[in-house]
Amino acid sequence: MDVIPLVHASLGERELAAVKEVFASDWPAGQGPRGKALERELAEHFGVADAVALSSCAAALHLSLLALGAGPGDEVIVADFTFPAPAHAVRYVDAVPVFADVRADTGTIAPQAVADLVTPRTVGIIAVDTVGLPADYAELQEIADRHGLFLIEDAACAVGATYRGRPAGTLASVACLSFHGRKGITSGEGGALLTTDPALGGTVRLRSSFGIGSIADQAKVIGLPIPEFAEIGFNYKLSDIGAAILQVQLGRLGALLERRNAVAARYHELLKDEELITLPHVPADRTHAWQSYMVTLEPGVDRAAVAADLRAQGIGCGHGTWASHLQPAYKTDQTCPVSADLFRRSLAIPMHAELTPGQVERVAEALRAALRAHAGPER
């Protein structure tokens, strides 16, 4: 049976060759020559003042909150329908995550929900480009400016997407990227922080390396430089091995995104008349990076049974993403009814750049059959 995985990283010989070059060098660890080159390439690609290569998007979120001054007693409004890394990061700095509900059609953070949650304790907003679709940044920035709040773009899933002609990763003064294995470009794990403020970038870079800066740079100094720990930092560096892979992947971004777009378009053609699901909605003023292709099942469809049928045929699938406020770690009395409903009814089907047309057709056919089999007695 031909197994069709939910996700698959597009890594090959060019990435292997880049890794071999690092193995032959004097510096496989973080903040070496490949890491510095990647940061320059990211800054140039996105047109930002600075880019800091990091171990994960979660690290970027944590460091961005520290650099922006969030701390104990502060409230940070976070998108609810997402992997809960933004809320985790808020907790890392002993601040309080306040969950904002999302748009029913896009799953992205709803600006009116954000506006309704602002209090005197609110210091910022973390918007999420949900599974690759940018949020409503014009409205969110207006709210942030009106109340003197910072705005962070969690673009973990959205490298390659656009909003009103601008690339995801540049839609707020601070943006956080992920290069996890299921993203559009990947080094297995990894992340980056992009910013319009070079001073903030410098602060983040220092804190990502225990507060002592680049050992690779200091090793070039004649004599015996002894690093000084300027502040308490973290080990959030991206290795030069990961950086070398990402340099290749960044160069392939356009081609990989084109293939994901083709898969999404074919799913739409094959499933557009299916009454038991709602397909992803992409507003006219933005484009999707298609980290995931997530459909919403009609009420009454047994999602677990549909998933079991697909998996029995070797077709990967998943629940989509989380309603963060429902997770036991947060123990909140907040309600986000739209997010909770999407959490119950969303289903992710295979989406990656290596899918063949035949595999896409097989997924669509199997999904239709599973939906019919588990639609409930009223159907």
Give CA–CA dist 58/234, Å, rounded.
Answer: 12
Q: 229-259 burial by CB neighbour count: b if 16+ within 10 A, else e?
A: eeeebbebbbbbbbbbbbbbbbebeeebbeb
The position carrying tokens 């077709």 is: 315
Contacts of 149 (CB under 8 A, 6+ apart): 118, 122, 123, 124, 125, 143
Closest CA to 57 of 128, 149, 124: 128
Which two three-digit tokens encode residue 329? 């770690």
Question: Does residue 331 carry a catalytic annotation?
Answer: no
Give CA–CA dist 181/187, Å, rounded.
Answer: 7
Which two three-digit tokens encode residue 30? 């973080």
The position carrying tokens 């298609």 is: 290
Q: Which of 20, 36, 183, 331 is catalytic?
A: 183
In order of 15, 120, 133, 140, the CA distances from 103 in angstroms are 38, 25, 12, 13
Catalytic residues: 183
